[in-house]
Amino acid sequence: MLLFEYDSLPWLDSMTIFHTLARLGVNALSIVSPNKPFISIGYFQDAELEVDFDFCRNAGLPVLRREIGGGAVYLDYNQIFYHVILRRDHPLATLDIDKLYRVMSEPVIETYREFGIETKFKEVNDIITVEGRKISGEGAANIGNAVVFVGSLILDFDYKTMAHALKVPDEKFRDKIFKTMEENVTTMRRELGGQLPPRDELRKVLIEKFEKLLGPFERASIDTKLKTRMDEVGKILISKDFLFKRTPRKPEGVRIRHGVEVLYTAHKAKGGLIRTYQEVQERRLADIAITGDFTLYPKENLDVLDRYLVGSEKVKREIESRVEEFYEKTNSQTPGVDVDDWVEAVKVLEE
């Protein structure tokens, strides 16, 4: 098993290294941070719908599409990335994806513990603190003749830039994303009271923990041949054809961590357009704001409707019940908008 360890690499190289090793079918662990910030979008996303390219251009943030799923994310030197590349004939590569996540997360959980942060694996692909805040997001995919598992130690995080890099319907929604990220995504700096261990010590412990799982490592470096292949792969990841490839699904929000999402929805009722901005935690409406061009009388009761819905499980029977109670208790009128329209606007989940 080869080991490629770098404190930092040029931003594009920090991503192409694992894409290229996978294409070459090399069993390897790569530990690296990018030397400058950039935005990485998930393989199945629509870049034009997910990313604010005007902001990224003005902020000098490059954008690429990775060959791993998940959402758009801001990456920088304050994150130490680990990439495990397993040729398909490797025993661990034969695990089903759920078990692979659990097994591969253990070295990371042990690393955080070594530095005084207790964490645990949270389905589907997060590592969270015991208080429930995300401190590592992970991903896996098949690339070439290999299975790739990736994630990061989050030393610190620029919530503000991440929130601004995303394309959102309005600034109110952006503020909600920022607030929800701050509440649900944490960092080593925050958990350790502002102090961070030396970066080389963090990498050393992370490698030791992975070595217990993967076996002895043979140190390697990027030679001319590998760099040439990495450059070829890099041209693909940032090419317009690949970056802007279309997907059939329109995004409805931003996943903060497993079980926590910020969503925006729209429903056209006979009486007007209803929009909602929702913070959903474990299938419940932790917060909701309703806007639109419908009519509600008395108009002051819109905030009341929001309050009736907060705390509700996002299922039809409970949304219906709470909206019906709202109408009954407040004598509100919404011409052309009925209970079924509110259920449609919330986009209820299956029970």
For residue 253, being part of any structural domain is answered with no
Helix (H) or strand (E) holding 46: none
Here the tokens at position 318 are: 């409970």
For residue 16, being part of any structural domain is answered with yes
What length is written for the chain? 351
Residue 64: closest CA among 11, 107, 112, 138: 11
Q: Based on the fold, state whether residues 40 and 179 are members of the same structural domain.
A: yes
Last residue of a domain, one of 181, 213, 243: 243
User: What was the pLDDT predicted at 247?
Assistant: 60
Q: Based on the fold, state whether residues 266 and 237 are members of the same structural domain.
A: no
Here the tokens at position 254 are: 């931003």
Q: Based on the fold, state whether residues 216 and 85 are members of the same structural domain.
A: yes
User: What was the pLDDT predicted at 254?
Assistant: 86
Residue 152: closest CA among 322, 306, 54, 31: 31
How many CB atoms lie under 10 A from the CB of residue 348?
18
CATH number at residue 283: 3.30.390.50
Q: Based on the fold, state whether residues 186 and 294 are members of the same structural domain.
A: no
User: What was the pLDDT predicted at 204?
Assistant: 98
For residue 252, being part of any structural domain is answered with no
Q: Based on the fold, state whether residues 35 and 154 are members of the same structural domain.
A: yes
Q: Based on the fold, state whether residues 169 and 53 are members of the same structural domain.
A: yes
CA distances from 112 to 31, 201, 205 (A): 16, 12, 9
Last residue of a domain, one of 213, 243, 273: 243
User: What was the pLDDT predicted at 311?
Assistant: 94
CATH number at residue 86: 3.30.930.10
Residue 243: closest CA among 27, 5, 95, 49: 49
Q: Based on the fold, state whether residues 85 and 13 are members of the same structural domain.
A: yes
User: What was the pLDDT predicted at 69?
Assistant: 83
CB 166 within 8 A of CB 72: yes
Looking at the structure of the chain, the number of domains it has is 2
CA dihedral of residues 141, 16, 230, 198 (deg, nearest 10): -130
Query: What is the three-class DSSP state of 283?
Result: coil
Q: Based on the fold, state whether residues 157 and 300 are members of the same structural domain.
A: no
The per-residue pLDDT string of the chain (351 residues; one tens digit each, 9 = 90 and over) reads: 999 999 999 999 999 999 999 999 999 999 999 999 999 998 878 888 889 999 999 999 999 999 988 889 999 999 999 999 999 999 999 888 889 999 999 999 999 999 999 999 998 889 999 999 999 989 888 899 899 999 999 999 999 999 999 988 888 889 989 999 999 999 999 999 999 999 999 999 999 999 999 999 999 999 999 999 999 999 999 999 999 986 655 556 888 888 899 998 888 888 888 888 899 999 999 999 888 778 887 888 888 999 999 999 999 999 999 999 999 999 988 888 899 999 999 998 887
Q: Based on the fold, state whether residues 100 and 159 are members of the same structural domain.
A: yes
For residue 283, being part of any structural domain is answered with yes
Query: What is the three-class DSSP state of 53?
Result: helix
For residue 236, being part of any structural domain is answered with yes
For residue 17, being part of any structural domain is answered with yes
* Residue 154: φ, ψ to 5°: -95, 105
Residue 130: closest CA among 117, 116, 119, 115: 119
Q: Based on the fold, state whether residues 221 and 265 are members of the same structural domain.
A: no
R_g of the chain computed on alpha carbons = 23
User: What was the pLDDT predicted at 169?
Assistant: 82
For residue 254, being part of any structural domain is answered with no
Q: Identify the DSSP state of 115.
A: T
Contacts of 225 (CB under 8 A, 6+ apart): none
User: What was the pLDDT predicted at 249?
Assistant: 52
User: What was the pLDDT predicted at 255?
Assistant: 83
Give the chain's end-to-end CA distance (angstroms, integer).
Answer: 46
Instruction: Note the Cα 140 to chain centre separation in Å.
Output: 13
Which residues sit opposite 2 in a β-bridge?
28, 218
Q: Based on the fold, state whether residues 237 and 287 are members of the same structural domain.
A: no
Last residue of a domain, one of 211, 243, 275: 243
User: What was the pLDDT predicted at 7?
Assistant: 98
For residue 248, being part of any structural domain is answered with no
Q: Based on the fold, state whether residues 72 and 220 are members of the same structural domain.
A: yes
Domain that holds residue 330: 259-346
